[in-house]
Structure 1
């Protein structure tokens, strides 16, 4: 916007001939600045016009020092517009997006430590509000909730009778995450919208669990009893190691990423061995196993309380956003091909993520708890 454009815009506002978009521009611009002392600008010819604007504003600031001070503030705001806006017609859409961001932020909350534990008899324990200490006993194991909000299984005295295997299931909702320690000492962290089914104590010559969604494992070493994780038709076998499995069905592939040790990934008659820093990728409805180098820091960022993206596409970002903030995301028209890189704390307000997208030219609107990604014009 050129200086002459601003003068004309102020004149149209004073004479009542500007449209609603122009009126909103002047009023929003004018009211966003706090009063402060600045150098004398000395152009008294504008005071009458600015006085008219002030009198027509729907909301007046609480403190009024003098018309001259108001003129100083308005002139400073004009300098701000010169720097940040090339064309004033671009200002209102940006302002509109900021308002939508605030609506989304006020309607959502970031995820937190919450899950449901389903016992062998079907009884459900809501872990978020459960007291610390022993919650239940299952078979030869006691289930305890620790002070830092984790579930720990501790094997009790073994029965002399033939072992009866009891299974428990932990479920995290959208916007939930939880950690547990199995009876063998293996540590598991579940991401949002995930689950793990496991025996309360491990017997026989293997330790087997099943998962959905995403989970990070730190498997206790036991050479005599391999640890196996099943999901989406694939099996991961380890003796003792650290790895991440992303098996969300809407991701289009199951990814197993190795951080320490070694793992064997199999599906059907296909088999692959991973070394630290590698990941296996099995596309949905396919048996082939692709091996790739992995950005492990990005893969496990969720476990460390971060959103972390490196040239991720918009859909990948929004799938994580939707699971963590428990919202629905839909797309209107062609999906933007923007590559997104950034890092945000997962406990941050939703506005922090959305503001990054706005800066990249992504536009959206809100319909209830549904975020609609709009096609760029």
Structure 2
């Protein structure tokens, strides 16, 4: 079937005049194209929303409307999923269901780069460093006050013992390398998920009126509720104060620092003595190098997608996308040349897939050539 025939068939489907057989064919074709796009549906509702937007965009294409513009009422991941499929419509429309398009990276040498894994190092208060990758599950350290254990599934657990024999509190540091991810349960029962290239500094047990920790990088907190002892997360330029809630902190300091509330409530305290309260779905952000703190509504599923095992890019620049990718796959990258127009990317992609597969789809979305040599990636406009 040629391009003109498929265009006509899709147009009949959109107009509601396709036969039952033709309707089945178009829906099967759409499903095949979505699977080959590499962008994963989050759930059935997500798929239906994307398909609805895709068909609207197809209708625009058939009517001669070419640009793919952002719809302010829909998250960009919906539009980008549509964009990926529209590339299949406009560029590769002659591929029938079951056929495969060329999905190889322009040039790749060296061993395949694997996705990140459960990896971390734990530095105790006495200076001892424990490489958690090499340790079996079980007790890692035991004192009269605290027991530290490695659990199955990449989790460190602190248990404060009831009989406290010493008032001495020591700082521990959990460091996650590039290409790593880990989870920790603190002595008060708070659970923290740590993304790649992240450091969490915390006491071996909490005493006093506050429960205070520090973060550099990105972490998701599920804070054990205790109204009498607020939990405070310190990041550069601000403190995040809660009593029991769930929130995500991104403090890589590359583009911006952001705190996103999932449920409960938080207070943001800046070094300039500014105070801001957040409601679920709101994000406090501070651009790198600027003192002002802003507030905005966000799609929380996009923000915490890393914790759920996938990338979710929402209207990001190529450099922002590559920063996330480089941390998880532990690669270096450089961009050569400049784009002729401002480009923003979006979409979802499993963090378990190979980096070559992900880079291939970036090549298809953006007018670039990508070359990977071992762990070095060059992107050329």
Same fold (TM over 0.5): yes
The whole-number CA distance in structure 1 between the counterparts of 2:143 and 2:116 is 29
| Superposed displacement of residue 367, structure 1 | 4.5
Q: What do the CA deviations read for 1:318-361 (whole angstroms, capped 9, x no partner)?
A: 00110011111111111463222221110111122112111113
Matched, 1:156 2:161: yes
Matched, 1:346 2:351: yes
CA contact (8 A) 1:308 1:344 kept: yes
Equivalent in the alignment of 1:196: 200
Matched, 1:371 2:377: yes
Unaligned runs of 5+ in 2: 1-91, 96-100
Higher relative contact order (CA 8 A, sep 6+): 2
The whole-number CA distance in structure 2 between the counterparts of 1:355 and 1:367 is 14
Counterparts of 1:85-234 in structure 2 under 5 Å? 98-100=105-107, 102-103=108-109, 106-138=111-143, 140-161=145-166, 163-234=167-238
The whole-number CA distance in structure 1 between the counterparts of 2:162 and 2:152 is 24
The whole-number CA distance in structure 2 between the counterparts of 1:138 and 1:160 is 10
Matched, 1:263 2:266: yes
The whole-number CA distance in structure 2 between the counterparts of 1:367 and 1:109 is 14
| Superposed displacement of residue 310, structure 1 | 2.5
Distance 1:130 1:160, change over 3 A: closer
CA contact (8 A) 2:371 2:378 kept: yes
The whole-number CA distance in structure 1 between the counterparts of 2:185 and 2:246 is 14
Matched, 1:248 2:252: yes
Counterparts of 1:70-85 in structure 2 under 5 Å? 83=94
Distance 1:139 1:329, change over 3 A: farther
Measured on the aligned residues, the alpha-carbon RMSD in Å equals 2.1
CA contact (8 A) 2:172 2:201 kept: yes
The whole-number CA distance in structure 1 between the counterparts of 2:144 and 2:243 is 25
TM-score (norm 1): 0.71
CA contact (8 A) 2:175 2:200 kept: yes
| Superposed displacement of residue 99, structure 1 | 4.8
Q: Whose Rg is larger?
A: 1
| Superposed displacement of residue 370, structure 1 | 1.7
TM-score (norm 2): 0.70
Distance 1:159 1:95, change over 3 A: closer
In the alignment of these two chains, the number of paired residues is 282
The whole-number CA distance in structure 1 between the counterparts of 2:248 and 2:304 is 7
- Poorly superposed stretches of 4+, deviation over 6 Å: 94-97
Equivalent in the alignment of 1:37: none
| Superposed displacement of residue 368, structure 1 | 4.6
Secondary structure of the 1:321 match is helix
CA contact (8 A) 2:105 2:359 kept: no
